[in-house]
Amino acid sequence: MALRSARDSQIFIIGCGISGIGAAQKLLHHGFHNVHIIEATARSGGRIRTGRLGDNIIEIGANWIHGPSKENPVFRLACDYQLLDKESMSEENQAIDVGGHPLFVPNWFTSSGRKLGLETMGPVVEFFMKLLERSQQFHDSGGEPLPSVGEFVKAEVERLAPEEWKEDQTNIAVKAAMINTLLKLECCVSGTHTMDDVGLGAFGMYKTLPGLDCTFPGGYEGLIDHMMKELPKDLVLYNKPVKCIHWNYTKNGPSGTSFPVTIECVNGETFAADHVIVTVPLGYLKKHQSTFLSPPPPLHKLHSIQRMGFGTNNKIFLEFEQPFWDEDCELIYLVWEDETHLADVVSDVKMSWIRKLVGFTVLKPTERYGHVLCGWIAGRESEHMETLSEHEVLHSVTQLLRIFTGNPTLTPRKLLRSQWFHEPYSCGSYTYVAKGCSGYDIDNLAEPLPLKGSNSKSLQVLFAGEATHRSFFSTVHGALLSGWREAERLASHYTPASGSFSSKL
């Protein structure tokens, strides 16, 4: 019987996003030395991607550290690597708790070229935020009255608005249109086509951490660069899309060793492994569910892959000569005054996709960025936008802004947009808990193969990535923690007491 040390185990990680990099770091730390990452593209970072618009650094993928405080591992790493400015690291900043909705200073523009004042929008935003808070509470209390967040919010607006808005009967139609804008914004936050697809009972599963969301002055990818510097140079095999993971498939290696997993790449190369940690996005798994694993995963895992939500949220960056927004403005909302019927989707995606572009965040500080806006658009309208040329998108956005500002000559200088749905190794932006799903679906996604109780060698295929984190799905810190979790799972499998293992195990 050939004996190998646990530390000799051949471990492959599929995907060089932050979860894969985190898993590799932890495994090396535990003394495993045959660790490799196989990455489909030519770069590390996955959905953390920093780009440029002229001289400006822009984030094409992840933007903020959500909840930058001690409990957030991304914040801790960013502090260790000295990647944040002083204000973001201050105790004061860490103590602010906004429950995942930072209070940006807004400007509200409407489709008749009006700017709405605080007296109109303030109470509507407050009303809407209370409904969102109530939506989150069903996770603890149960008994949700409707299946989705969208249906609940719309029903409650219908029920409560007459009383809520009775003091100020002016602008009633605009207030309903503002609710639609806020729903469209939530589609961007949740990464979904419509809030009607987001499960009400599971909405509160997502947990926020204290700390006022902050950005990386030098770009999010700086974090990846620093993490990569701590890994051996030849650890990542780039440009090798994995086609299929054959598990429960014993292959004999040199000197009598046997491996239960074979990784087959698109280029025909194969790699024999004891363990594989899969970190590919849920969108990719959904698209390739029938071919990525052989044999296919058990039905309950497959059903959870199918049921869980993975949507698109894209950004459209615009640079201007001069700002048309107030100096202190951090977020621009667009309100279509004719959208008085409560809905967060457009009726004709091809003709009216631009209506889903909910607004813009203003890149700050101005001394660093000049006058750059980041537009947000989610859902199938966003996926359609990706199919248009940059010129067509620029034309539509320019027309839109001319209408909303009432300035017929307003012209952005430059545009750059993301296309996450058509990225072949992402197939969308991030995970949400869809209608009918619960925490068990996330547990099913994260469950290693073969299942417990099987006679085959255990922990052949493990699953990490943001979609597998029960309370921090859709975030960078959730992804990192999931990579660490799976590395720890392997490390504790080989406890010091069983420091060696046989090929029979």
Binding residues (CB under 6 A) for ligand 6YU: these are 14-20, 38-41, 46-48, 61-64, 66, 189-190, 203, 206, 241-242, 279-281, 284, 313, 315, 418, 420, 425-426, 429-430, 465-466, 474-476, 479
What amino acid is encoded at 99 in this protein?
G
Pick the closer one to ligand 6YU by CB: 138 or 203: 203
Query: What is the smallest separation between the CB atom of 62 and ligand 6YU, expressed in angstroms?
Result: 3
Query: What is the smallest separation between the CB atom of 417 and ligand 6YU, expressed in angstroms?
Result: 11
Pick the closer one to ligand 6YU by CB: 62 or 397: 62
Closest to 465 measured CA to CA, from 277, 298, 323: 277
- Separation of alpha carbons 80 and 222, rounded Å: 12
Pick the closer one to ligand 6YU by CB: 64 or 108: 64
- Separation of alpha carbons 274 and 502, rounded Å: 11
Contacts of residue 167, Cβ cutoff 8 Å, sequence gap at least 6: none
Pick the closer one to ligand 6YU by CB: 165 or 220: 220
| Tokens standing for residue 478 | 């959730």
Pick the closer one to ligand 6YU by CB: 175 or 240: 240
Helix/strand/coil for 463: strand
Query: What is the smallest separation between the CB atom of 446 and ligand 6YU, expressed in angstroms?
Result: 12
DSSP string, 221-252: HHHHHHHHHTS-GGGEE-S--EEEEE-S--EE
Query: What is the smallest separation between the CB atom of 279 and ligand 6YU, expressed in angstroms?
Result: 5
Report in angstroms the alpha-carbon separations of 293 from 18, 135, 243, 342.
Answer: 22, 36, 9, 42
Report in angstroms the alpha-carbon separations of 270 from 79, 247, 265, 288.
Answer: 39, 13, 6, 19
Q: Using alpha carbons only, what angle is made at residue 212 by residues 211 and 213, rounded to the nearest 5 degrees?
A: 110
The C-alpha R_g of the chain, in whole angstroms, comes to 24
Query: What is the smallest separation between the CB atom of 294 and ligand 6YU, expressed in angstroms?
Result: 14
Pick the closer one to ligand 6YU by CB: 47 or 384: 47
Query: What is the smallest separation between the CB atom of 416 and ligand 6YU, expressed in angstroms?
Result: 13
Query: What is the smallest separation between the CB atom of 364 and ligand 6YU, expressed in angstroms?
Result: 15
Pick the closer one to ligand 6YU by CB: 148 or 429: 429
Query: Which residue shows structure tokens 């992840």?
Result: 62
Query: What is the smallest separation between the CB atom of 355 and ligand 6YU, expressed in angstroms?
Result: 20
Contact 149, 195 (CB under 8 A): yes
Residue 351, CB-side half-sphere exposure with 13 Å CA sphere = 3
Of all residues in the chain, what percent are helix, strand and coil, respectively (each to 5)? 40, 20, 40
Pick the closer one to ligand 6YU by CB: 154 or 485: 485
